[in-house]
A and B are shown apart, each in its own frame.
Chain A
């Protein structure tokens, strides 16, 4: 045993994410900045369209199919606005992805001050764009191939007179054929970004390749670290829907309460995202230890072993009190450097 167990990494990741509240707040603010103007415009569109009809008020008490459908049929501008908003919003967000992604990874190198975050976003911007494009290209190829494969599987499984359980299996198999490679790819892109930033790599394609290799080598770790985050995320989404349904947005107070909860839910999502990156950075730093800058809070395996078993989460994050920057952590426990890490490092600042 040379690296900390997944639960330990998860707890440390959560702690590290929590330490970067400033960044979480920044990401959340960016989100609001983009979404709120659209929301306010939509509100104005609604008001202009049907503001004089008191029948609209029945929609406050819950869904009213007659009113809702008449409203949207006779005032197409409402749906039009929403539909027209989504694609530009997604495109702007995609650009933001190239900006924010590397900053987020880099923030785990220091204590994560927001200033440093913005500095790193700028430094890695073009490489990050290239990485995004590389991911997009690979994803497109993977999707094309997998959709063809899934189509073939679907045809084979649903040939002849088949009943629903067979269709269900075919749906599951088809989704798996397309979905699993995509999950693999998204995770690889995440690790590629980590490598790009941590190793200050100049080639985004190489980083992508390293990401693919790394994820491929550690499937169990991936499932444990990122699967757990996905489960937490799914629960938070589910919980939000149940909450919204239970409270109902049927009064001013109800709307306000749901709004608060809704925003809390978005914050939780941002947190889980940062946590996810923290887990990735934590894993990379413990498995590829010769990289000089390691996340500050991931404790040394030796120390971790001393603290295990972990009775409480607080115990797990205790080692944080130790040295903030830990270099050559892995070497102490005799890890073999990977090919990537044997490559001579480039200067941090060109």
Chain B
């Protein structure tokens, strides 16, 4: 019996290996710089991983490369002295770390194929903050440099312990989310790439806010877990083989991706669905079973939107992972072809958390997955572009004024919610969008990176028009998929498409916009300061020209003052409305501090508006953008009477309890 099992194992394992090598795409979609074959065992009791990894890394630059740098992400959870834990102050997403819950990675061996030991000269480095206790980046000198066009193969053995889920990765109960788990090579950037003045490794420490930047490649990963555990992973399942010890080895292959994550739990319920060419596999907690339709529907909506808006999602599958509440720190994450959502039992449908998180994380399949910007250094190009996309999809699907929340008369849309998160910051000038994530030392990372970017892009969309914006986004996507764009690359595409449609109507480029909004911290605030209409003064007295007195008596001189209260200068429309129903529009370049409009007409001005079409979502105060001769007082009564009811209730229940 045992012999037979052994034979069966060998046969199926060999078939698995054969399948594993079969390509998914007939032609590579990406440069395939970093390619991995990984074999890993999970001990669910000890929460440990023991793995062997073969990395084949190709030098596609013109530089001779003398060292490799590796991310050892799990060391962020090694102790309280890592840069990650220091930034968090020991807690994230409402969860904190206690004794026995730490996680780490130890590289036990690293050799070249000829047996050369690379660990001898390897050292931990901390390129971002110089924290000598941080062990998330390992520099590995090579005995001989990797010449342009050549590859290096590195055999690595590692053992790791997963942390209790604090942020993104780890275990909780018998839920395992294995992300940022294997020794992963950084990105070598040659001179000129993303504006770099010199070639060098881009391999940042694991920060509490950002984590991603990697080269594309092929992953063949075999994961051995106990029988009874449902497993999901990046890529396509190639085989499941039962080992003689009763464990199951699941083998997955993923091509043209830059990361690999997997999860397993005996509690998952598996729901399968599809959209067009994409098979969707939802791994959901039993207590969230009633949310499955919300997950699947929003994933399909997102797939359809991105497909139409930017282009095809090239992979044939998408796995959605629903973490349990006690592992919510692993929720809302993105990995190639695998995302984690977030749901809570008893959550009413009008609180669109499930939809929002699913759509957001799926968006990362484009902004992160397919377009591989550097999240460490330019998080706005990843999270921000994605937040902008999320706003568009959410508002299109569920209504601009209630896409996020619609409960008991209170409602908010995604785009407006982003705007308020930005303009409502205690200090919206705290930092520009363009700085690296770990430099938001005084806070504001998420409001600036996510919300301000989304609002800035929504403003740009309204300035250049949605068709031009869509063309620009599509061009950017098409040009930069499977590559690593930087800020200048994004701006160049916008400039190109805007110029194509408008010539120099917006100036030689849109840099005036980018420098203020992406690189600057100033805020935008326009105001209609005053609005006065008076009958035209009739010339009187000796020698005065009274020939046109009658005419003048029937005319009004209106003076409207529009001010720029913020430092940001953006062209803005001004609209005036007169008592006889006439309207007048003009555009102000916003360069001065004050615009004084003097208009003589047969009727008084009754309403003045700056930015009447509400294009400038970055304007921090919309209330002062308009002034009217008479404003209906009903709304004041409405709120006063609503509050009266609360006052009366306070009196009633306190005076007569």
Interface hits, A133-182 → B, CB 8 Å: 160-165, 167-168
A40 touches B640 (CB 8 A): yes
Which residues of B have CB within 8 Å of A186? 657
B325 at the binding interface (Cβ < 8 Å):
yes
A64 touches B654 (CB 8 A): no
A165 touches B648 (CB 8 A): no
- A96 and B639 in contact (CB under 8 A), knowing A55-B623, A60-B632? no
A42 touches B639 (CB 8 A): yes
As a 0/1 sequence over residues 601 to 620 of chain B, the CB contacts with chain A under 8 angstroms (1 = contact) are: 00000010000000000000
B411 touches A60 (CB 8 A): no
A288 to B359, CA, bound (A): 67
Least distance between B615 CB and chain A CB atoms (Å) = 14
Complex partner residue of A57 from B411, B627, B632, CB under 8 angstroms: B632
A161 touches B647 (CB 8 A): no
A30 to B640, CA, bound (A): 19
Closest residue to B607 on the A side, CB-wise?
A54
Interface hits, B284-307 → A, CB 8 Å: 285, 287
Least distance between B640 CB and chain A CB atoms (Å) = 4
B345 at the binding interface (Cβ < 8 Å):
yes
B622 touches A93 (CB 8 A): no
Least distance between A162 CB and chain B CB atoms (Å) = 6
Interface size class of B (residues with CB under 8 A): 35 or more
B621 at the binding interface (Cβ < 8 Å):
yes
Stretch at the interface among B155-163, B417-425, B466-474: B417-425
B631 touches A51 (CB 8 A): yes
As a 0/1 sequence over residues 61 to 98 of chain A, the CB contacts with chain B under 8 angstroms (1 = contact) are: 01111110111011100000010011001100110110
B144 at the binding interface (Cβ < 8 Å):
no
A20 to B287, CA, bound (A): 53
Interface hits, B307-343 → A, CB 8 Å: 324-327
B644 touches A163 (CB 8 A): no
A65 touches B417 (CB 8 A): yes
Which residues of A have CB within 8 Å of B640? 39-40, 42-43, 46
Complex partner residue of A64 from B401, B419, B645, B652, CB under 8 angstroms: B401
B641 touches A249 (CB 8 A): yes
A74 to B619, CA, bound (A): 13
Interface hits, A25-42 → B, CB 8 Å: 27, 30-32, 34-36, 38-40, 42
Which residues of B have CB within 8 Å of A85? 647
B638 touches A47 (CB 8 A): no
A165 to B649, CA, bound (A): 33
B635 touches A60 (CB 8 A): yes
Q: Most chain-A Cβ atoms within 10 A of its Cβ — which of B412, B632, B641?
A: B641
A220 at the binding interface (Cβ < 8 Å):
no
B656 at the binding interface (Cβ < 8 Å):
yes
Interface hits, B400-426 → A, CB 8 Å: 401, 409-413, 416-417, 419-420, 423-424
Complex partner residue of B655 from A51, A52, A93, CB under 8 angstroms: A93
A259 to B175, CA, bound (A): 54
Which residues of B have CB within 8 Å of A69? 420, 424
Which residues of B have CB within 8 Å of A71? 623
Least distance between B286 CB and chain A CB atoms (Å) = 9
A101 to B655, CA, bound (A): 8
Interface hits, A262-319 → B, CB 8 Å: 262, 265-266, 269-270, 273
Which residues of A have CB within 8 Å of B11? none
- A67 and B344 in contact (CB under 8 A), knowing A100-B655, A163-B285, A262-B645? no
A70 touches B622 (CB 8 A): yes
A251 at the binding interface (Cβ < 8 Å):
yes
A270 touches B411 (CB 8 A): no
B401 touches A57 (CB 8 A): no
Complex partner residue of B622 from A55, A62, A97, A165, CB under 8 angstroms: A55
A189 to B641, CA, bound (A): 32
A59 at the binding interface (Cβ < 8 Å):
yes
B132 at the binding interface (Cβ < 8 Å):
no
B623 touches A53 (CB 8 A): yes
A255 at the binding interface (Cβ < 8 Å):
yes
Closest residue to A273 on the B side, CB-wise?
B656
A56 at the binding interface (Cβ < 8 Å):
yes
B652 touches A31 (CB 8 A): yes
Q: Is the interface of A mostly helix, strand, loop or mixed?
A: helix
A167 to B623, CA, bound (A): 42
Complex partner residue of A252 from B628, B634, B649, CB under 8 angstroms: B634
B10 at the binding interface (Cβ < 8 Å):
no
A38 to B645, CA, bound (A): 11
A321 to B177, CA, bound (A): 76
B31 at the binding interface (Cβ < 8 Å):
no
A273 touches B652 (CB 8 A): yes
Complex partner residue of A54 from B172, B413, B626, B637, CB under 8 angstroms: B626
- A89 and B627 in contact (CB under 8 A), knowing A55-B622, A66-B420, A259-B641? no
- A56 and B345 in contact (CB under 8 A), knowing A42-B643, A273-B652? no
A258 at the binding interface (Cβ < 8 Å):
yes
Least distance between A250 CB and chain B CB atoms (Å) = 8
Which residues of B have CB within 8 Å of A63? 409-411
A245 to B118, CA, bound (A): 71
Least distance between A124 CB and chain B CB atoms (Å) = 15
Which residues of A have CB within 8 Å of B641? 39, 249, 255, 258-259, 262
Which residues of A have CB within 8 Å of B173? 160-161
A167 touches B637 (CB 8 A): no
- A93 and B636 in contact (CB under 8 A), knowing A52-B627, A164-B346, A249-B642? no
Closest residue to B636 on the A side, CB-wise?
A46
A224 at the binding interface (Cβ < 8 Å):
no
Least distance between A87 CB and chain B CB atoms (Å) = 9
A89 touches B623 (CB 8 A): no
B627 touches A270 (CB 8 A): no
Complex partner residue of B626 from A40, A53, A89, A101, CB under 8 angstroms: A53
A42 to B635, CA, bound (A): 12
A167 to B326, CA, bound (A): 11
B624 at the binding interface (Cβ < 8 Å):
yes
As a 0/1 sequence over residues 95 to 125 of chain A, the CB contacts with chain B under 8 angstroms (1 = contact) are: 0110011001000000000000000000000
B420 touches A59 (CB 8 A): no
A65 touches B413 (CB 8 A): yes
As a 0/1 sequence over residues 162 to 177 of chain B, the CB contacts with chain A under 8 angstroms (1 = contact) are: 0000000000110100
B627 touches A66 (CB 8 A): no
Least distance between A281 CB and chain B CB atoms (Å) = 15
Which residues of A have CB within 8 Å of B622? 55, 66-67, 70
A59 to B537, CA, bound (A): 39
B650 at the binding interface (Cβ < 8 Å):
yes
Interface hits, B466-495 → A, CB 8 Å: none
A50 at the binding interface (Cβ < 8 Å):
yes
B416 touches A66 (CB 8 A): yes
Which residues of A have CB within 8 Å of B642? 249
Complex partner residue of B644 from A39, A162, A269, A273, CB under 8 angstroms: A39
Which residues of B have CB within 8 Å of A161? 172-173, 175, 324, 326-327
- A251 and B634 in contact (CB under 8 A), knowing A69-B424, A97-B657? yes
Name B residues whose Cβ lies closer than 8 Å to a Cβ of A.
Answer: 172-173, 175, 285, 287, 324-327, 344-346, 401, 409-413, 416-417, 419-420, 423-424, 607, 621-628, 631-645, 647-652, 654-657
> Could you jot down 24 A-B contacts, CB within 8 Å?
A31-B655, A32-B648, A38-B647, A40-B640, A42-B640, A43-B636, A52-B631, A54-B626, A65-B410, A65-B420, A89-B650, A97-B656, A101-B656, A162-B326, A163-B324, A163-B345, A164-B287, A164-B325, A255-B641, A266-B649, A266-B652, A270-B652, A270-B656, A273-B652
Name A residues whose Cβ lies closer than 8 Å to a Cβ of B.
Answer: 27, 30-32, 34-36, 38-40, 42-43, 46-47, 50-57, 59-60, 62-67, 69-71, 73-75, 82, 85-86, 89-90, 93-94, 96-97, 100-101, 104, 160-165, 167-168, 186, 189, 245, 249, 251-252, 255, 258-259, 262, 265-266, 269-270, 273
5 further interface pairs, Cβ-Cβ under 8 Å (given A32-B648, A35-B651, A55-B623) = A42-B643, A55-B622, A93-B655, A163-B325, A164-B345
Which A-B residue pairs are the 10 nearest by beta carbons?
A93-B654, A164-B345, A161-B173, A43-B640, A54-B628, A35-B647, A39-B644, A93-B655, A161-B326, A65-B412
